[in-house]
Structure 1
Amino acid sequence: FVDNNLNSFQDASELGIPNVSLELFKLENGVYLSTGHRTTTDASGDYEFGLALGLKPGTYRIVESQPVDYFSVASIPGRLNGNSSLGETVAGNPDMLTAIRVPLGDSHGTSLDFAEAEPASVSGFVYNDLNNDGSRDSGEAGIGDVEVQIVSIESISGTINRTRRTKADGSYSFEGLPPGKYRILETVQPTDYLDGKDTPGTVGGQVRGVSNSNDLLTDIRLDGGEDGVDYNFGEILPSSIAGMVYEDTDRDCVRDPLEPALEGVLIELLDANGTVVATTRTDEKGEYRFTKLTPGIYAIRETQPAGYLQGGQVAGSAGGDATLTDLITAISLGQGTNATDYDFCELRPASLSGNVFADLNEDCIFDPDEMAIEGVRIELLNSDGNIIAHTFTDSFGNYLFENLQPGLYSIRETQPTGYFQGGQMAPSGTGLTDQVDLIREIELASGQQLTQLDFCEVPPATISGFVFQDGEPILTPDGNPPNPLLGVRDGIRDSSDLPIQNVVLELRTRTGQRIPSRNALPGIYESDTLLVTTDENGYYEFRGLRPGAYHIYQVQPTGYFDGRDTAGSSFGSFAINTDDVPDQSQLNMIELLSVESATNPGSDAILMIHLMPGNHAQDNNFSEIVVLETPREKPPITPVPPIEFPKPIVEPPPATGFVTLPFERFLVI
C-alpha cells in the first residue's frame, strides 16, 4: 500500500498498489529456497498465497518486487490466525518479510504488508529580486544556467546528492525524490549578481524549511508524493557609490578641471546602523569607489586629510544628506544603481599677515630704516564683521593669522598709543583701505598666503627751545633800550645767560591760526589750544605733534625787552627780528600773517618750523634783554679841616702831684 506519511500503517486514505509481484520462499536446511509460488496484488493491493497451494507447515519468507515509481518504506510483520505476530523484518531490506512460521493445522497468516511511498519533488527559481524582498514578483526575471544542488539530510533511500542548472527562465526542479529531509544549495553565485534573499517554499500550502545562511535552504521535510514549490534564490544587481576628494580652490564645492586631486584620503562606507562595512582610499586622481553593494541605506565618511581644512561635501546622483561635516548620510541605493559624485571638497589653509611700523616718510611702505611697533592689537573679522581672532604684533612688528578657511575677511587695528594714525596698505586687488585702521573685503583663496597687509603709524614730533635773559642788564641813562637794541646782544644762549620761567608760548598753524589741543596726542595739553610755559630752566617743549609746518608765537615776558630770537634745527625756519632782512618767501609769509591782528606774529615769533614724523626741532630760542637806568653820580664831599690846638708849654714837673695840661689832666707818678 501507499504509505506516504511513512508511519508503516495503512491509513484509511492510503490506497493499495496493484500489480505488485511477490514471491514465496521456504526455509530448507537453513537456506530459503523459492517455492515457485508467485503472486501479484489485485486492484486493492491485496495478495495471498492461499489454501489452493497446499502449503505445508514450515518457515517461510516473502519477497516483494519493488514496484516502479515507489520507494520502499517498510515491511510489516502480520498476524497468525489474527492473534500472535507473524514474521520478522530484515534490517536494510524493506522488501522482505522472513521467519514466517506456519504451524501444523488450519493456519491463516494475515497483514503481512509492504509499505511504499510515492516519490516527492521540489522546485523553485533563481531570479533577480528587484525589490530585494525575498518574494518573486511579476516582472522579476529568472536567471538561467545557475547550478543548484539538493542533498539529503536523511532519506528512506540512502544519500541523495543531485545537481541541476536553471533553465532560461531561472526555474529548476528535482523530481523522483525519496521521502526525507533535504537542503538545497545555490553552489555558485551567478555572475554579475549579489546574493539576495533566499526563501523557503511551501509543501501543500505550508512553509517547510528555513534559510539560515547565504545560498542555502535547509530542513525541507518531504513525505511521499509531496511537491515542494517556490524554493527560490533571490539575486540582486550590485550597486556602487563613487566620488572624489579634491582641493576646492574657488570654494564652490564643484570639481573644476584644474582643481588638484587629493590622493590617499581614507573613505569609509557605513550601513544604515552606522557600522563601517568597507574602507578605501582615494587614488592618484582623487577618486574612490565602493562596488558590489546591496541595495539599502548608506553613508560615506571621510577622514579629514592632513594639512587641509574641511571645505564641504556634496551628495551625488542618488541623493543623501550632506549637512554634516565630512559625512554624507541617507544615501538610498536601489538595485543596480551606480551612484556618482559623492565628493568631498577640501581647502588648503590660508593666512593673512602684515606689519605695524612707524612710517617716517609717510608713504605707508615699510622701509629698512623704519621702526617696527610691538604689542599692537590686531583683530580678524569675518564677513559679518564679527571678531573671530585677535593677536598682537611681535618685536618685529609682524602679525599673522594662519590656518584660515578661504573666504572674506577684514583686519582691524587698535590704534597704538603714542602714534598718529598714518594709514593702512594692502597689495593691489586684495582689500579695501578706505577706512581708518581697517583693511576690509580681503578675499582669501585656498592656500593663499597673503602678506603686506600693513598699518603705518606716524610717530609724533617735538618742538623745543629756551627763553633766556641774554647777558647782564644793559644800563642806559634813561633806562630805555639803545637803538638798535639787537646789535647789543647776539641772541646766542651761553653759560652767562639766565633762564626765564613761566613765559607763555603758543603754537600756530601755517596760516597763524591757533591749534586745538585735540590735534596733538591726547593727554598732553590741558588747555584748549597748544600752549606751553617755560620751566625753571627757561625750557619749553611742544610734544605729540603731527608732522607739518608750525609757527611759535611768544607772549613777551614782563620786564624784558625783546632780544634776538633764533630758529633751531628745523630746515627753513626763521625768526622775526627787527634788524633782519627777510628773503622774499619769508617776507610773503610775514605779510600773510600780518593781515589780521589775531594772526600777526609781531616780532616775537619763529616761523615755518617744518616737522617730519618723529623729528625734534630743538633750540628754537627766544632771548630777552634787561635794560636799566644808569645810576646818577653823587657830588664830592669837602673834607673838614682838622682843629689846631696850641702847643703846650712843658715845665719840669714837680716831684709829686698833678700836672695840669690844656684839655687834659694827667696823673704823674
Structure 2
Amino acid sequence: PDPGKAIIGDTVWYDDNGDGIQQPGEPGIPGIQVCATDAGGVQQACATTDANGHYRLEVPAGSYVVAPTNPPAGLTATTPTPHGPVILVAGDQYLDADFGYNDNDQQPVLGKVGDLVFLDGDKNGVFDGNNTALAGVSVDLIRDTDGDGVWDAGEPIIATVTTVGSLDAQGGNYLFTGVPAGRYLVHVSDTNAVLTDYARSPLGVAGVNNHNQADPYPVHLVNPGDSNRTADFGYYQVDRPNVGVIGNQVWVEPNDNGLFDVLQGDFGQPGVTVELLNAAGAVIATTTTGASGDYAFVHLAGGTYKVRVSDAYNVLAGYNPSIVPTPGADSTNKAQPYTVALPAGGYNLTADFGYTGGGGGQGTGTIGNLIWEDLNADGTYQAGEPGIGNVTVQLWYDADNSCTLNTGDFLVETQTSSGTVTLGGNYKFERNDLPAGNYLVRVTDSNTVLVGYTQSQGTNPGADNNSQLQPYCIVGFAGSDLNGSNLTADFGYWRPAALGDFVWQD
C-alpha cells in the first residue's frame, strides 16, 4: 500500500436475518462496485468485491462517504447507505464500511426516533390545540452504550437534526431515520440558541406521545425496524427584559496549566451542564455547553451571581479541575463556584472552567516501545532481530474514544526510534501530563527510513512484541497520575530479499 494514503474496506454480504450484522454463514456478495467520494463530491476510488464480498480502497487523507454504485438487484439494504462520513489521515485503515442486503420481503431493519419540539402556550406539558411547532432547534441522538438511560462520559452523539416549523403526517417536526435496534438518548442541544427566551414546560407522562419528556430522553428500539416517536419536548416563552450575559467555556487540557490553548491540545467539551446561582446560592438557571464547550446565561439583571459546573450527564467523569493560574482572567480556569458581579446591561465572559485527567507532574505515563526489522516476516519480535533507527512515530490523544484518527484528536508528541534495542524497546513516550483515556500510536517515517520495507502483521493484536495495525489504539490508559504504562505499541517491518545482478560477454 501507498504509505501516503489511507485504506477503506471491506465487505458486502447477504444479510440473511436482516439484523445489519454479518453472522457466520452469511455469504459475501461478489461483483459489487464500491466507491469513496470526498467532501467535494469527487469520486476518489472504486473497487469491485471479490468472491468473498471483500473490497479495498486506497484514498488520500480526507473525509469520505462510501457506497455501492450497483447494489444487488432485488435486495434491500439492511445497513445505512451511504456509509460515513469517514475522516482519515495517511496510514489509516478503516475496515468498517460494510454493506448488508437481504430480500425485499424481510422485516425492515432500520427504525426511526423522534419527533416533536413544541411551543407549549398553556404551559401544561402536553401538545394540544393551543400549541405550535418550534423551528430551528437542534436535537442530538446519543448512543447509550451501557443502556443505563444516563448520558455517560464517552457516549457519542451519532446524529444531529434541526426541527422545522410545520408538522409531518405523524404530527412531528424532527426525525432521526435509519436507526438500528439498540438503546439511545435524545437531547435538545439548541446550538442555534433558538430557545434563549424559552423555559422548559412541566413534565408530562413519561413515554406518552405529545407529552413533554425529560431531557435526555431514553429510547429503546428492541427489534430491528422498531420506531419510537415519543421523544417530545415542550417549551414556553418567558418575559426577559434584562440583557446581561455571563459565560463562556468548559474545556479539557492534557497539561494541567489552567490556560485554554488549542496549540497545547486543549479542546472545548460539549454536553457539560453548568449552573447559575443567585447571591444566596440557589440555582436559578442551567444550560449545557455546545460543540466548542461554549455556554451563556442571557437576559440577566444586574447583580451578584455564582457559576459552577454540575455535569449532570457525567461527561467529565474521570477528569479533575485544573489549577487556577490567574483568578479573574479570561480563558483561565476558575475556582468554583465562580462569583460574578454583573452591572446592569453588562456582560462577563470570564466564567471559564478547565479540566484535566493528567498528572500535572504527580507521576509518569509511559507508552512505547519497539520498531524493528522483522527478519522472518512473521509479525513477532524475536531476540536478535535489530531495531530500525531514525524512524519517526507519533502519539495522539483519542479525544472521542473512537480508535480512529479524527479531527477532534490532538498530537501529543513525536519521537524518533533508536537503532539499538534496549530492554525490549527503541522508542518511548514518557510524560507527566498524559490524561487517562485512549491513545493512538502511528509510524510516520518522515525521514523515509522505511522506503522498501513492508510492515508485517502479527497474529496477537494487543500483545507485547506483536506487530500492531496502525494507528494502534491503546484503550483505557491509566494516565500519568497513576504511572500508567503500555509498551505494546510495536511495529515490525521486513524487506524482500534480492538476487542478481549482471550477465556479460566475457
Q: Which structure has the bigger radius of gyration? A: 1
TM-score, with length taken from structure 2: 0.25
TM-score, with length taken from structure 1: 0.20
Give the number of the structure with larger relative contact order, counting CA–CA contacts within 8 Å between residues 6 or more apart: 2
- Compare the two structures and name the one with the higher strand fraction: 1
